[in-house]
Structure 1
Amino acid sequence: MSGQQEYVSLYTDLLQTVRELGLLRRRHGYYLVRISVVMTGLLAVAAGVVLLGNSWFQLVLAFVLALLLVQVAFLSHDSAHRQIFDSAARNDWTARILAGAVLGMSVSWWRSKHNRHHGAPNQVDKDPDVQLKVLAFHPDAVTERGPVGQWFAARQGWLFFPLLTLEGVGLHASSLTHLLRRDASRTDRIDAAIVAARIAAYVAALYVLLPAGKATAFLGLQLAVFGVCLGAAFAPNHKGMPIVPASMKLDFLRRQVLTSRNIRGGFFTDLAMGGLNYQIEHHLFPSMPRPTLRRVQPIVREYCELQGIAYAETGLFASYGIVIDYLNNVGLRARDPFDCPLAADLRSGGRNLA
């Protein structure tokens, strides 16, 4: 067997084991309950806003609404990955309705961006999540900046979580920019109509039901909490893990495992991160239903140990420390982005993985 075939078979052997154990089967009951609970919660918040009226206690409802919308984002993510239904069309429309009509964002914009991330996580020239204008994730991105940009990059780890308060606004703005471009497709135009109607109805309802000051505070708090919670769920998964140089080729298994990090925890970690705390397993099996990721984790971890592939796992707050430290020092370290743990794994056999 050639080297390339050997590395391909590493993943196909693991995938075959997972299939034989039935771990890719859909979990319709789980998602029915999850969607029903979240939608009931949203309706309860809407009723609460109407009944509570002109009161600053509305900000409590704004906070709860933000948490519920984070759960909607996770459900839309699952559906866009086709984890919920066997039918691709039902998954796509569920994702579109959850993202557009409930969340107010474009699923087509998100899918395009997220698919590129899954195809090449942490790769300099391909992963949009390491090509952000605000944050620098690799040394070249720091050296290309002027004095002010370099000053910011040296402190961006400490500024990262405060910046997440703007993430909700940024996501909505990026979504609308994508939908309103001149070459928008028919699907994008459908998304644009859904998103525009949702945003207009939500904002109008707030300013009709509440005085302008309270409505603005409600909207601002909801967007800030949403951005922080969603960003805090995605941040630990890849930030601070090895950055893949543009010219390096990796087999699928190593590419997904070595650039991803799992987060330890129980029920509340699963809830707060929407199952993304099993990031390694999610990247290996993107269509695997969320509740199954916990079951497949021991299998994947043992398989990686047998193959000598580093498997990263840490606690939630420890992961935030790693993210902050990495972002603050990205211009100083990772001159060779694959120093520890990836370089050792790749160089031990003197291999050029394809």
Structure 2
Amino acid sequence: MGKGANNFSSTDLKNLPNEPMSKLFSWDEVKKHNTKSDCWIVVNNFVYNITEFKRKHPGGTKIIEFYAGQDATEVFNAFHKDFDRVFKFANCYKIGQIDPNDKSKERLSLEEKKKIDKEIAIRRDFLEVKETAKKMGLFKPSYTFYFLHGFHIVFFQMLGYYILLNYGGFSYAAILLALTCNVIAEAQAGWAQHDYGHSSMLAKPKHNNYVHLFFMGFIKGASADWWTYMHNMHHAKPNVIEKDPDVRLEPFFVVGNVEPKRRAEKNVKQKKNNFYPYTIQHYLFPIAAPLLFPLLFQWTTIRHAIRRKKYLDLISMVPMYALHFYVTYTTFQSVLKCIGYFFVVRLFESAWFTWVSQCNHIVMDIHDDVDYDSWLHLQIRATCNIEKSLFNDWYTGHLNFQIEHHLFPTMPRHNLYKIQPLVKSLCEKHGVNYVVKPLWKAFYDIILSLKKSGQLWQEAYDELITSM
């Protein structure tokens, strides 16, 4: 969804409020209110001034600012489950509705009109797919699945600590086995907290938040609010430059086809090169992936909770660190070894997470915010899938169905494969590229993509230097 998305469609959502509105606005007027200090959005053709509310938004201010002056209908419907409550709450911010006789479209070129009409057709068909998914019960969770998944996380975490306490002082093999158990628990807890952060299991978001706190704080020792804040921005504008935090990889990496050229221009303008050329970044990634958690996320997540005064997040982290250092110090009788064991767990967990999360995204199109982009186009151009298998489902936390997850972020992960045939059919109908890869190919494509982006940077840099 880019600027003006869905501007000229008659939204056929069942959740559309039905009440008379006295004030009518044109899309040209709405687009003027697109700043942090003057923020309007449109949902289901109703106009909301949320300049003040955005500071209170549970998902963070940025996700709302991304859609300032734009139609936020599709992103709103993707993120929210409790429509009735949200609409009632939003009434105090409602200032009018889009003029049904708005003539904005008449000023566009024929090509622009055709593009809008095509996007409207895609949105209509996408809504039909979503309604079909609801009728199939695909938004209803399996409590058995979530219980067993949560149980296996706690089991491996406790098993790792048990092995350390009872055998870790006598055998390196025992330490290695305990390490394996703890890494599995931490990595799988990452996928579990992802589900609850999206409110995929329980009906009410606040109930999901409590379980989210458990897996993110008690198991992983991180801030649930930090993850929600960062991840919502990613989902709202995936692979959009300057908006998706997952593609802000400077100064160490340049990604996609656009950013390398801009980085080269910046390097030349500042009359300096980076301390290393981006042409070797594909060699650097396997080294950086394991270091992401222990060197960056470890302190970033705690800093976020302190700065934002998320005291419940901070409290939820305490048991994880207390238990970990009690077990490891009892085993090793050394503070340095305790820290070393913790660091190694984070290394392997980080490598696991980073390779899986990046293989779905940085190999795809990374672009500026664009006009008239439907939710389907916005998500699929930034995502790809990995082939289904029991191992791939477990290893990736069902993010091998990244396309379906991005289209339906609140859908329980164990149902994503069931909606896949309908999504494929929708993409085929509208000529949208749907990419599925083997796991090894998805990982290998990360290296190829970084190598290509590095070469683009070098070519642009050399050309600029030569022309000076």
- String of CA shifts for 1:219-250, please: whole Å, max 9, x gaps: 23211111111112211111110112135441
Normalised TM-score (structure 1): 0.87
TM-superposed deviation, 1:64 = 2.2
**Hey, what does 1:209 align to over in structure 2?**
331
Correspondence for 1:135 among 249, 253, 256 = 253
TM-superposed deviation, 1:287 = 0.8
Correspondence for 1:71 among 163, 188, 192 = 188
1:56 aligns with 2:172: yes
- Contact 1:124 1:244 (8 Å CA) reproduced: yes
**Hey, what does 2:291 align to over in structure 1?**
166
Correspondence for 1:236 among 359, 369, 372 = 359
- Contact 1:59 1:221 (8 Å CA) reproduced: no
**Hey, what does 1:32 align to over in structure 2?**
147
Identity rate, percent: 23
- Cα distance in 1 for partners of 2:327, 2:429 equals 57
- Cα distance in 2 for partners of 1:165, 1:263 equals 21
Q: What residue identity is the alignment partner of 2:301? A: S
TM-superposed deviation, 1:214 = 4.4
TM-superposed deviation, 1:63 = 2.4
Correspondence for 1:265 among 388, 407, 410 = 388
- Contact 1:24 1:288 (8 Å CA) reproduced: yes
- Contact 1:168 1:224 (8 Å CA) reproduced: yes
Correspondence for 1:147 among 258, 266, 273 = 273
TM-superposed deviation, 1:331 = 4.2
Let me know the Cα RMSD of the aligned residues.
2.1
- String of CA shifts for 1:31-72, please: whole Å, max 9, x gaps: 011111221222222211111131323133112211221011
- Cα distance in 2 for partners of 1:196, 1:21 equals 41
- Cα distance in 2 for partners of 1:44, 1:7 equals 49
**Hey, what does 1:123 align to over in structure 2?**
240
Q: What SS does structure 2 have at the residue aligned with 1:8?
A: helix
Greater helix proportion: 1
Aligned counterparts, 1:95-110, within 5 A: 95-110=212-227
Q: What residue identity is the alignment partner of 2:414? A: P
TM-superposed deviation, 1:207 = 2.1
Q: What residue identity is the alignment partner of 2:273? A: P
Mean CA deviation greater in 213-222 or 102-111: 213-222
Correspondence for 1:16 among 114, 120, 131 = 131
- Cα distance in 2 for partners of 1:252, 1:334 equals 30
Unaligned runs of 5+ in 2: 1-8, 10-115, 459-468
TM-superposed deviation, 1:119 = 0.4
- Contact 2:254 2:450 (8 Å CA) reproduced: yes
- Contact 1:26 1:86 (8 Å CA) reproduced: no
Greater RCO, 1 or 2 (C-alpha within 8 Å, sep 6+): 1
- Cα distance in 2 for partners of 1:173, 1:320 equals 27
- Cα distance in 2 for partners of 1:44, 1:205 equals 12
1:219 aligns with 2:342: yes
Structure of higher CA gyration radius = 2
Q: What residue identity is the alignment partner of 2:292? A: E
Q: What residue identity is the alignment partner of 2:246? A: D
C-alpha spacing 1:331/1:247, structure 2 compared with 1 (3 Å): farther
- Contact 1:261 1:279 (8 Å CA) reproduced: yes
- Cα distance in 2 for partners of 1:88, 1:49 equals 37
Give the paired residue count: 330
- Contact 1:258 1:312 (8 Å CA) reproduced: no
Normalised TM-score (structure 2): 0.67
- Contact 1:143 1:331 (8 Å CA) reproduced: no
C-alpha spacing 1:102/1:306, structure 2 compared with 1 (3 Å): same
**Hey, what does 2:282 align to over in structure 1?**
157
Q: What SS does structure 1 have at the residue aligned with 2:400?
A: coil
Q: What residue identity is the alignment partner of 1:163? A: A
Mean CA deviation greater in 235-244 or 322-331: 322-331
Greater strand proportion: 2
- Contact 1:63 1:221 (8 Å CA) reproduced: no
- Contact 1:56 1:214 (8 Å CA) reproduced: no
Q: What SS does structure 2 have at the residue aligned with 1:144?
A: helix
C-alpha spacing 1:120/1:196, structure 2 compared with 1 (3 Å): same
**Hey, what does 1:298 align to over in structure 2?**
421
Unaligned runs of 5+ in 1: 336-354
Aligned counterparts, 1:243-322, within 5 A: 243-322=366-445
**Hey, what does 1:45 align to over in structure 2?**
160
- Cα distance in 1 for partners of 2:398, 2:229 equals 21
Mean CA deviation greater in 267-276 or 39-48: 39-48
- Cα distance in 1 for partners of 2:264, 2:397 equals 32
Q: What residue identity is the alignment partner of 1:180? A: I
- Contact 2:165 2:330 (8 Å CA) reproduced: no
- Cα distance in 2 for partners of 1:11, 1:142 equals 39
TM-superposed deviation, 1:96 = 0.8
TM-superposed deviation, 1:264 = 1.0
Q: What SS does structure 2 have at the residue aligned with 1:50?
A: helix
- String of CA shifts for 1:240-292, please: whole Å, max 9, x gaps: 10112135441111111121010113010111100011000000010111111
**Hey, what does 1:341 align to over in structure 2?**
none
- String of CA shifts for 1:159-199, please: whole Å, max 9, x gaps: 11221111221222210121122xx24xx121022224432
- Contact 1:120 1:127 (8 Å CA) reproduced: yes
C-alpha spacing 1:102/1:304, structure 2 compared with 1 (3 Å): same
1:179 aligns with 2:305: yes
Q: What SS does structure 2 have at the residue aligned with 1:277?
A: helix
Correspondence for 1:189 among 306, 311, 334 = 311
